[in-house]
Amino acid sequence: MLPDKSRLIPGFILMAVTLVTVDPARAGSSKSTRAAFTYVQGAATPFPASAGEPVLLTLQGRHPERLTLRQLRALPAVRYTTTQPQLQETFEYQGVPLRDLARRGQFDGQDIRVTADDGFIAIIRASDYQQFPVMLAYQANGRPIPDLKKGPLTIVFPPDPNRFPVRTYGSQWAWYVTSVGPR
């Protein structure tokens, strides 16, 4: 009994360490060209919406999925500070990288079509969201994003004016986002 146990323990520790070190977004890809994003959390176990909870996003994947804020908050998340170009206001945003949404919907590698409540459509290139943590933000400065600040869901680009100049990317900062799917 005892000798068996002591042989099990190192194995268990090794497994635990492995689980903690892997990229939470590794699933579905082993391409070495992928950038490593810094996540504030990995994916939690999926759970159903409670009755009456509003659906904020339709993920137009292979099996379309309707997600509430609570469900979005359970997905892998990144957080960074950047300036919203239309508001000219700087926020610490948190949200789901488009890359993780694309993996979940099984359209990773395809350009993404984002649609908004006002009928606006933005296309976000695979080469942008795969290499950079372009996010679907649901939180700004620790709070849900009010509609006056272009929430509840808004597309946010990393603060890199050379890679994502407002002149050419401004139209991809879609706000009032209601769906994300393949182009």
**Contact set with ligand MTE (CB under 6 A):** 86, 116, 118, 120, 170-171, 173-176
Cα–Cα distance measured from residue 114 to residue 174, given in angstroms and rounded to the nearest whole number: 7
Closest approach, Cβ 170 to Mo ion, in A, equals 6
Closest approach, Cβ 171 to ligand MTE, in A, equals 3
Strand 89-97 with 135-140, pairing: antiparallel
Cα–Cα distance measured from residue 58 to residue 121, given in angstroms and rounded to the nearest whole number: 14
Neighbours of 145 (CB within 10 A): 23
Residue placing its CB nearer to ligand MTE in the complex, 5 or 167:
167
Q: Residue 129: which of ligand MTE, Mo ion, none does it interact with, CB under 5 to 8 A by kind?
A: none
Q: Residue 86: which of ligand MTE, Mo ion, none does it interact with, CB under 5 to 8 A by kind?
A: ligand MTE
End-to-end alpha carbon distance in the chain: 58
Q: Residue 127: which of Mo ion, ligand MTE, none does it interact with, CB under 5 to 8 A by kind?
A: none
